[in-house]
Amino acid sequence: MSTRSVEILEIGSRRNGFAAELREIWAARELLYFLTVRDIKLRYKQTAVGVAWAVLQPVVTTAIFALLFSRFARFDTGDVPYPLFALAGLMLWLFIHSAVSFASGSFVNHTNLVTKVYFPRMIVPLAATLAALFDLIFSVLIFVGMMAYYRFAPGVQVVWALLFLVLALVLGAAMGILLAAVNVRFRDVKFALPFFLQVWMIASPVFYPASMISEKWRLVFAINPLVGILDGFRSAVFGAPFDWPVIGISMAATVVLLIVGITIFRWMEDSFADIV
């Protein structure tokens, strides 16, 4: 009587160093690309106006902010027209909002892929974050058009704007990675996230200038990573002086958040296939 040997394949994460994990992600960059494209298509599938939402959302929201805060609250934005000032902050906020919202539920939305195939798990929230760049591109084009409309020409320091766009991408990825991992185990995330994002927007200078905060509290305020990113981006495109202490604290907070997110993600990823 012959006995057959049965080979058991266990799908799980490998405890490599982070550098090795980065190499795995780079090796799977084609999968990252296809997941990103898939997320973009799914976002606008079966919608009445399709990708026009990427244009309507920043335009309508900016118009509402302009009506409320340029006519009634009258924030002091110097020589910068308020609609232009508001859109500069709003387009980065909408990117962060979309990236965090979609990345947080990315594992739940890709259950079959996560439970059946091995690949670097971090690709899933990263793809959702990169998919949000699609909307940001439209917002930037609208912003450039508004600058032309107001005949507002940026100075040479506009080249710094790229730094703050990259920081926004890193922040979105950090929050997405963290919440995607936590959401697998604690499904309360999807209920708490809308409230958290509302509070985060109010606590960030999206529709008001950071200069409203007194100097005494401004550095504390900058612990919120979005404060330095928004303030630095506006300074870059509008030619205002950079508040480097605020920007530095926000950059440090972004890096810390990224490290915490990756650490928690790697600690929890072994159980993803069993829980999701």
For residue 14, is it within any domain? Answer: no
Question: What's the pLDDT score for residue 248?
Answer: 96
Which of 83 and 14 is assigned the larger pLDDT?
83
**Into how many domains does the chain fold?**
1
pLDDT tens digits, residue range 15-58?
556 677 778 888 888 989 998 988 888 877 756 566 677 778 88
- The DSSP annotation for the chain comes to -----------------HHHHHHHHHHTHHHHHHHHHHHHHHHHTT-SSGGGHHHHHHHHHHHHHHHHIIIII----TTS-HHHHHHHHHHHHHHHHHHHHHHHTHHHHTHHHHHH--S-TTHHHHHHHHHTHHHHHHHHHHHHHHHHHTT----GGGGGHHHHHHHHHHHHHHHHHHHHHHHHH-TTHHHHHHHHHHHHHHTTTSSS-GGGS-HHHHHHHTTSHHHHHHHHHHHHHHTPPP-HHHHHHHHHHHHHHHHHHHHHHHHHGGGHHHH-
Domain that holds residue 57: 30-271
CA distance 97 to 103: 10
For residue 170, is it within any domain? Answer: yes
CA distances from 185 to 94, 236, 261, 271, 276 (A): 27, 40, 15, 9, 8
CA distance 216 to 276: 46
CA distance 226 to 238: 18
Which of 26 and 233 is assigned the larger pLDDT?
233
pLDDT tens digits, residue range 90-108?
999 999 999 999 998 887 7
For residue 22, is it within any domain? Answer: no
| φ, ψ (nearest 5 deg) of residue 92 | -70, -40
For residue 267, is it within any domain? Answer: yes
For residue 6, is it within any domain? Answer: no
For residue 25, is it within any domain? Answer: no
For residue 10, is it within any domain? Answer: no
Judge whether residue 110 has pLDDT over 80: no
Tokens matching residue 186: 């604690």
CA distance 276 to 111: 6
pLDDT tens digits, residue range 127-177?
999 999 988 999 999 999 999 999 998 889 999 999 999 999 999 999 999
For residue 5, is it within any domain? Answer: no
Question: What's the pLDDT score for residue 216?
Answer: 81
